[in-house]
Amino acid sequence: MKCIAFPVLTASVLLLGACAIKSSVQPLKAQESDSVISSPMYEKRETLVATGYAVISVQNHRNPAQQRLLAIRASKLDAYRALAEQVYGQQLDANTTVADMMVKSDTFRARVEGAIYGAVLVSITPVGDDTYETMLSLDRQMVNDLRTMYVTNPVSKRH
């Protein structure tokens, strides 16, 4: 009887131990796994940051001081464009022409459309001797507001 009781007792302990381990490890619920996979990367950051650049010497003015001011303005507009890309995305159009099994032309066109308000000017900095850099930031709650506003009242199509 002792010979049979020991293996039965050992098997019972192992079986109960396996059940206890299995019950302590629970898989993610369907909702939890879906939200982890589908949540966008931008929602993990508190603010969006965009940087714009402009070259001083290419600004259309003869006065160097006015060229600097125009470059500052252009870099700020470039930063706003970069913010709009992050908030609304970018529309891309591409066209490729192939003849005689060779690419004859390959064109891309990118377009951004949207409204940005509430952006905070972080810095305007000269970079090197001939460039300005502008950094803007936008709070995540403002991003959500902008997207909601754009969905309910999109900017009119201009072409």
| CA atoms 40, 43, 44, 47: torsion sign | positive
Among 28-37, 108-117, 148-157, name the one with the lowest average pLDDT: 28-37
Give the integer Cα–Cα distance in Å for 112 and 70: 22
Closest residue by Cα to residue 84 from 50, 135, 38? 50
Confidence of residue 146 (pLDDT cuts 50, 70, 90): confident
Q: What is the pLDDT of residues 92-125, one digit of tens each?
A: 999 999 999 899 999 999 999 888 989 999 999 9
Q: Can you give the pLDDT at residue 153? A: 74
Q: How many CB atoms lie within 10 A of CB 132?
A: 24
Give the integer Cα–Cα distance in Å for 125 and 138: 19
Query: In the 8-state DSSP scheme, what is residue 107?
Result: E
Q: Where are the domains of the chain?
A: 1-39, 46-152
Give the integer Cα–Cα distance in Å for 108 and 152: 29
User: Tokens for 69?
Assistant: 């001011």
Bigger pLDDT: 23 vs 51? 51
